[in-house]
Structure 1
Amino acid sequence: MKSKLKNFSLLTISTLIMAVGIYFFKFANNFTFGGITGIAVLVAKFLPISASDFSFVVNILLLIIGWIVLGKSFAEKTAYSTILLSVSLSLLERIYPMSHPLTNEPLLELIFAILLPALGSAILFNIGASSGGTDVIAMILKKYTSVDIGKGLMISDLIFTLAGFLVFNVKTGLYSLFGLIMRSALIDNFIESFNRSKYFHVVTSNATCICDFIQNDLQRGATIVNATGAFTGDDKYIILTVLSPSQAVKLRNFIKEHDPKAFLLVSNTSEIIGKGFHSV
């Protein structure tokens, strides 16, 4: 129940973050990057349908495809996000109608049009969901190819971004193209930062003390490997463990205090599969 409540909260918060970025900064400036909402900007220019209504219809169609290809669990999470995003955009149109951008600084607004939806999308991807639209296409590409989600989004969105040059003007088109590239890069970076952990190699003569601290105080596991010092020929132990950034600080301080002669190699990692981390 706790896990479901956490996922539900993340789904809601991330979707609302996306809605704010899309409505206040993307729609108002006619930026055409970002999948279905980018297409919606183009469609709203020529047809008597709002960008929000168009997004909802197309998202439902892609949701059905996602259900078939990616599974029921994905579709359930995506359905909630898709509906919440469309409803939020429709409510914002009625509560705070916008006939022009918030400011006269398009570059500043572009930053928020990139940052907020990218952050929302990354949170959704990280829990195995999406806001629908071309996100579904990107996740299908991720499932069957080695293409990263960010690159998949860039591939699926590029054609609609380029259309902004023809429908609006070169300035808007260039902003949209820049936004597409940055959004794709930010999503992968956000996802990596969410999952970032510290991977420790600890070379020591006192493995028991350090392992007790890892297991009892940090509530993490560790692996001990027997080793021999190449210079001294002394028996050594190599302790392998993966910790969160905050736990890593505690372990470094503990080792510094209790085994100052230990040799540490610490590296960042975001792909950890196993008990206590991600399942296969």
Structure 2
Amino acid sequence: MKRLLKEYSLITIGVILVAIALELFFFPNHIACGGVSGLALVINNILGIEPGIVMIVFNVILFAVAFIFIGGSFGIKSIYAAFGLSIILSAIEKCTTPIAITDNLILATIFGSALLAMGTAIMYTQDATTGGTSITAKILNKYCNIDFGKSLVISDSVVILLAMYTFGVELGLFGLLSVYLTGNLIDKFIDGFNLSKQVMVFTKKEELVVNYITKDVDRGCTVFYGKGGYTKEQNCVILTILSRTQFIQLKQFMKEHDPEAFITVNETTEVLGQGFKNILE
């Protein structure tokens, strides 16, 4: 229950960040950032229908299509995120009058894309998406043998072309820039969230270090044995994967108890298995 509460809390934070990006940066400046949200902005301008309501309708249709053509892989979390975003946007439109934080289109595109990417990345780490064009991209990927990334670009490009027709070429190009920035920033944020430290400790105090890692830091480790190329002395090498906070703990411990140890550290963007992300996910 505690884990479930944490997951849905993070998804909610992600949804709120996406909603802020759309309502305070993209929608007031008529920048279509791709996806269902961009399509909702176009339809809002043509027909005057609230973007939140448009997104609810399109997400219902797209999720129905996903279950028919893809299967039930879009779980409860994605449905919660998709409809949660639509409801929040609709509530903002009804209860307030959102205004752009900045009228500068370059600033709006950059900061809106950053917030959008951050929110999307947070949801992605909890195995949730807001649906939209990722569904059409999966369908193209499955039935047309087009790479998922290329399929997503195709889906978003259709929205951008509609935006160009509705708002003009200049605003459409800002939407295209947003699609590019958001895609790249999402990858960067995801890598940052998943960042861990791969640590190798060369030490003569094997038992002391292993006990600290397994009992105090509460991480597993693997022990190798070797011989120094120069000293010809037998040595112990301890390999472990730690979070940044745990590495600081280990570094302080080694400084106090084994200052002669030799430590190498590498950053790793993804760790699968016991104690980390499930390898089956």
**TM-score normalised by the chain length of structure 1:** 0.89
Q: Tell me which residue corresponds to 2:64.
A: 64
Q: Tell me which residue corresponds to 2:269.
A: 270
Counterpart-to-counterpart distance in 2, 1:64 and 1:228:
62
Deviation at 1:110, TM superposition (A): 2.0
Q: Tell me which residue corresponds to 2:46.
A: 46
- Contact residue 29 and residue 103 of structure 2 kept, 8 A: no
Deviation sequence 1:211-249 (CA, Å, 0-9, x none): 111111101111001111111211111111000101111
| Inter-CA distance 45–89: structure 2 relative to 1 (3 Å threshold) | same
Deviation at 1:141, TM superposition (A): 8.1
Deviation at 1:254, TM superposition (A): 1.5
Counterpart-to-counterpart distance in 1, 2:25 and 2:15:
15
- Contact residue 67 and residue 75 of structure 1 kept, 8 A: no
Counterpart-to-counterpart distance in 1, 2:71 and 2:237:
41
Q: What residue identity is the alignment partner of 1:233?
A: K
| Inter-CA distance 271–137: structure 2 relative to 1 (3 Å threshold) | farther
The question of 1:133 aligning with 2:132 is answered yes
Q: Tell me which residue corresponds to 2:167.
A: 168
Counterpart-to-counterpart distance in 2, 1:146 and 1:191:
24
- Contact residue 25 and residue 102 of structure 2 kept, 8 A: no
Q: Tell me which residue corresponds to 1:119.
A: 118
Deviation sequence 1:86-126 (CA, Å, 0-9, x none): 1111111111234x634332222223321222111111111
Counterpart-to-counterpart distance in 2, 1:224 and 1:80:
44
- Contact residue 109 and residue 177 of structure 2 kept, 8 A: no
Q: Tell me which residue corresponds to 1:189.
A: 188
SS class of match (1:277): coil
| Inter-CA distance 225–132: structure 2 relative to 1 (3 Å threshold) | same
- Contact residue 224 and residue 236 of structure 2 kept, 8 A: yes
Higher mean Cα deviation, 228-237 or 151-160?
151-160
The question of 1:224 aligning with 2:211 is answered no
SS class of match (1:28): coil
SS class of match (2:200): strand
Deviation at 1:262, TM superposition (A): 1.7
Task: Quote the sequence identity (%).
Answer: 36
Deviation sequence 1:145-190 (CA, Å, 0-9, x none): 99687x7644531332244333222321222121111100111111
SS class of match (1:237): strand
| Inter-CA distance 17–212: structure 2 relative to 1 (3 Å threshold) | same
Q: Tell me which residue corresponds to 1:93.
A: 93
Counterpart-to-counterpart distance in 1, 2:200 and 2:71:
37
The question of 1:77 aligning with 2:77 is answered yes
- Contact residue 33 and residue 158 of structure 1 kept, 8 A: no
Q: Tell me which residue corresponds to 2:17.
A: 17
Gaps of 5+ in 1: none
Deviation sequence 1:197-216 (CA, Å, 0-9, x none): 10011122221111111111
Q: What residue identity is the alignment partner of 1:51?
A: P
| Inter-CA distance 186–213: structure 2 relative to 1 (3 Å threshold) | same
Q: Tell me which residue corresponds to 1:107.
A: 106
Q: Tell me which residue corresponds to 1:55.
A: 55
Higher mean Cα deviation, 171-180 or 1-10?
171-180
Deviation at 1:261, TM superposition (A): 2.2
SS class of match (1:114): helix
Q: Tell me which residue corresponds to 1:33.
A: 33
Gaps of 5+ in 2: none
Q: What residue identity is the alignment partner of 1:40?
A: A
| Inter-CA distance 231–148: structure 2 relative to 1 (3 Å threshold) | farther
- Contact residue 31 and residue 171 of structure 2 kept, 8 A: yes
SS class of match (2:27): helix
Q: How many pairs were matched up?
A: 277
| Inter-CA distance 35–248: structure 2 relative to 1 (3 Å threshold) | same
Q: What residue identity is the alignment partner of 1:275?
A: Q
